[in-house]
Structure formats: structure tokens, C-alpha cells
């Protein structure tokens, strides 16, 4: 099987994440995409991140109904900072005979030099970078393949700002996620 792994803070998950996952699945001919919400990302300021269980719940709501999408809570169960190497090792244990495609947005390319055990990660997965508006693909290392994704300029930062400023964010996230954010008073 060909399995895509899409990790992220998903703070919150939005339409851009879903389009990226669906287009990557289709263009790379993947059998499924596993969304992996991080507990604490090592490269971000964690002051404005919704609780891990809320982010996990929002991803579940967002992907329900797509038979190709699933979710793994392994990074959240692990607690603490989430390092890709630890997650990939666990997935290699779960899926020892499958091809793993680790998918990131082009916005994360600038952090690659800071990743823990990057050389080991590269040996275990096919590294895929998906294009993201505002983050051109420049100086791409040879071990990375790219997949062009339609331009959807939405960010979690923009959504959180809308919530704080009482502006509409309704169609930037799936409707169940929108309702969840309102009901649970997230990002206020």
C-alpha cells in the first residue's frame, strides 16, 4: 500500500489542509492519507495553540465522510514535543511493508535544517513537499519530490485572527469544525 502521512498542528484544520491531502492522494496515487495532529510542534510558539484533544476532535470532524482519510493520535498520546523521526519509526512498525509518503507544505522547507534526525527520516519515507501560496519552492534538496497543489491561501493564523476579531471564518473551515470552534469558544 502507498500511505500518505500528513502531520501538522491543525490549529485549526481548514479547507486548505483538506484540498492539499486530497490532491496529494490523487496525484501520488496513494491508498490513504493519515492525518497526524502534533501535540507540541518543535518549531512553533505554542502560546496560541488549542488543546490537543480539541485539535484531534476537529480533524476527526473535518475528515469524516472521506474513506481515504484517517487520523492517528499517536503524537498526542506521546505528549511533549513531537518529532517526525519518532512518528515515522512508529508508522514503520505499524506498516512495515508499505510505502510511506511524508507530506509537508512548502512553508516548512525553511525549517528542514532544524529537524531531528533528518537523514534517518529520508531513508524511511518518500519526502513530498506540496506547494503553498506565498512559499515558493526554491532550493529544494534532491531527496524531496514535489506535488503541485491548487493555490488556496488560507492559514490557521488567519482563522484564529478572525475568531479573535469576531469576523466571519465560516467557509474557511468545514462546517462541523466551524460549529466546534464556536461551541467550545476556541481562539478567543
What is the value of pTM for the model shown?
0.92
Residue-wise pLDDT tens for the chain (188 aa)? Answer: 999 999 999 999 999 999 999 999 999 999 999 999 998 776 666 678 999 999 999 999 999 999 999 999 999 998 778 789 999 999 999 999 999 999 988 777 777 888 889 999 999 999 898 876 666 666 777 788 888 888 788 999 999 999 999 999 999 999 999 999 999 999 98
Which domains are present in the chain? 2-153 (3.40.50.620)
Burial 1-12 (b: 16+ CB within 10 A, else e): eebbbbbbbbbb
CA–CA gap between residue 51 and residue 64 (Å, rounded): 20
For residue 27, the model assigns a pLDDT of: 95
Q: Which of 178, 170, 176, 182 has the alpha carbon at shortest distance from 63?
A: 176
Cell 485572527 appears where? 161
Phi-psi region of 10 (alpha: psi -120 to 50; beta: other; left: phi over 0): left
- Cross-strand partners of 35: 6, 71
Amino acid at each position: 500500500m502507498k500511505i500518505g502521512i500528513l502531520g501538522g498542528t491543525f490549529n485549526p484544520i481548514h479547507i486548505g489542509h483538506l484540498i492539499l491531502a486530497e490532491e496529494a492522494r490523487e496525484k501520488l496515487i496513494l491508498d490513504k492519507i493519515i492525518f497526524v495532529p502534533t501535540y507540541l510542534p518543535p518549531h512553533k510558539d505554542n502560546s496560541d495553540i488549542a488543546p490537543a484533544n480539541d485539535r484531534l476532535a476537529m480533524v476527526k470532524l473535518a475528515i469524516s465522510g472521506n474513506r481515504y482519510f484517517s487520523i492517528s493520535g499517536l503524537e498526542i498520546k506521546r505528549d511533549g514535543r513531537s518529532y517526525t523521526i519518532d512518528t515515522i519509526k512508529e508508522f514503520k512498525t505499524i506498516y512495515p511493508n508499505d510505502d510511506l509518503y511524508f507530506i509537508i507544505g512548502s512553508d516548512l522547507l525553511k525549517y528542514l535544517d532544524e529537524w531531528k534526525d533528518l537523514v534517518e527520516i529520508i531513508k524511511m519515507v518518500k519526502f513530498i513537499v506540496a506547494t503553498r501560496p506565498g512559499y515558493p519552492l526554491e532550493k529544494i534538496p534532491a531527496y524531496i519530490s514535489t506535488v503541485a497543489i491548487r493555490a488556496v491561501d488560507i492559514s490557521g493564523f488567519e482563522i484564529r485572527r478572525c475568531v479573535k476579531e469576531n469576523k466571519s471564518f465560516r467557509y474557511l473551515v468545514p462546517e462541523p469544525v466551524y460549529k466546534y470552534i464556536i461551541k467550545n469558544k476556541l481562539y478567543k
